[in-house]
Chains A and B, each alone.
Chain A
Amino acid sequence: MILQLITSFIAASTFCILFNAPVRALLQCGFAGMIGWMLYLLLDYSSDTVVATFGATVVIGLISQFFARSFKMPVIIFSVGGIIPLVPGGLAYDAMRRFVENDNNLGIQYGVQALLLSGAIAAGLVLSEVLGQMFLRIKKLPKQP
């Protein structure tokens, strides 16, 4: 578990280096990625993978919005690092592998699951954005660019 914490932190922040994120945002990126991955693992034990991905994405989105407002940087810088571990790369790989092995049924099954997971990530991001906007409206703060 500790190992997962450390590796997810490093992975999220180094991924932001690949996207040329500002140096002062790297720690926050790693933090968002770590929280998201932990939540994903915990939810994945107790319930479905799609639900776990959705839940983790919503929390990552909310954390990113918080960081974006407090550090005055675009939300995308923080959310990208957090989302990346949740992208169903492993499932897509499994699907590809089954297709190559001529096991088309299993391939399609894995492929559809990967598609559902990407949908969950998208829905989670949008929900967190809507929640953030609602929160701002309620607090009647002026919206920042």
Chain B
Amino acid sequence: MDSTSTNSNTSIHDIVDLCLLAGKIMLQSGAETYRVEDTMSRMAAALGFPGAHSYVTPTVIMFTTSRTEPVKLFRIAERTTDLQKVSEVNDISRRLTERQLTAAEARERLGIVDDAAHAYPVWVQIAAAALTGACFTVMFKGSLQDALPSLLISGTGFAAATYLHRLVQFRFFAEFIASFIIGLLAFFSVKLGVGREMDKIIIGCVMPLVPGLLITNAVRDLMAGHLVSGISKGADAFLTAFAIGTGIGLVLSIF
């Protein structure tokens, strides 16, 4: 295939590879669909393909540099939330369009971002989840006495969700079990007299599991005209919320 690029030492394959890698990292890190498409088109335009098209859903990226070129496809199996990576890819793409980076440099940097671990180790995340739970319990008009049990319970719940997700490749099940554990622990903490209001403790502790980012992204995608992505993300969020609700509901119906 002849290279039609303005940049003579980068072939069309390299450019497609670069754009697909950028899109893949962003989509896996939980960026909005419109941002993924926008970034890929901008990068392609900066490298000499202003007519590039992409179609992105939460599970697949399709990308072509022009109408006559074949479409390249990339399947996304696993998605997490990593705003740091979104921000880094965004930064690389902006520098590329401002011509502060060449295609080869951008490719190298994207590779580093792709291989990098999450910004925070697991124990920091669990500690953060514990703090979040305690703070939310206070914010939702729970007493300070309830903050201590929710600190412990939300940490345990988040740790359970994280480790269970590594054991079973079924996120909804992990969230169901985690919220069940949260409900159970909250019940016993009130029974033992450590906490006062079970409702406030449960609401605070469940918050780290609530799919807030998914809901926000779903609506934004819908408003931006990405109907398929918006609806599938909404369904994802609904299932997560349903899993959490069922876990808590099970505890409430047992006792």
Contacts and interface: CB of A to CB of B under 8 A. Distances in A.
B139 A76 contact: no
Interface in A1-57: 3-4, 7-8, 10-11, 14-23, 25, 37
Contacts of A72: 91, 94
Given A10-B135, A74-B90, A100 B212 contact: no
Given A19-B213, A74-B87, A89-B206, A99 B249 contact: yes
A23 B223 CA distance: 30
Contacts, number: 154
Contact of B129 (A18, A76, A129): A18
A145 B202 CA distance: 40
Nearest to B93: A145
Contact of B81 (A19, A87, A92): A19
B207 interface: yes
Interface in A119-134: 121-122, 125-126, 129
B202 A14 contact: no
A76 to B, nearest CB: 6
Contacts of B178: none
Interface in B188-243: 199, 202-203, 206-208, 210, 212-213, 215-217, 219-220, 223, 241
Contacts of A92: 241, 245
Interface residues of B, number: 57
B39 interface: yes
Interface in B9-47: 29-32, 35, 38-39, 42
Contacts of B81: 18-20
Contacts of B185: none
Q: In terms of DSSP, what is the predominant structure of the interface of chain A?
A: helix
B129 A100 contact: no
B104 interface: no
A145 B83 contact: no
Contacts of B93: 145
B131 A10 contact: yes
Interface in A67-103: 72-74, 76-77, 79-80, 83-85, 87, 89-90, 92-94, 96-97, 99-101
Contacts of A19: 30, 81-83, 213
Interface stretch (B49-57, B65-73, B106-114, B118-126): B118-126
Given A72-B91, A99-B249, A22 B202 contact: no
Contacts of B135: 7-8, 10-11, 14
Contacts of A20: 29, 81-85, 118-120
B100 interface: no
Contacts of B153: none
A46 B144 CA distance: 26
Nearest to B253: A100
Nearest to B39: A145
Contacts of B203: 89-90, 93
A84 B212 contact: yes
A118 interface: yes
Contacts of A3: 138, 144
Contacts of B213: 19, 76, 80
A16 B253 CA distance: 33
Contact of B199 (A15, A76, A93): A93
11 contacts: A11-B136, A14-B128, A15-B207, A20-B119, A74-B86, A83-B212, A83-B216, A87-B210, A93-B202, A93-B245, A122-B215
Given A7-B139, A122-B223, 7 more contacts: A16-B83, A19-B30, A20-B82, A89-B203, A96-B245, A96-B248, A122-B220
Top 8 nearest A-B pairs (CB, nearest first) are: A11-B135, A122-B219, A17-B128, A7-B135, A14-B128, A20-B82, A21-B83, A96-B245
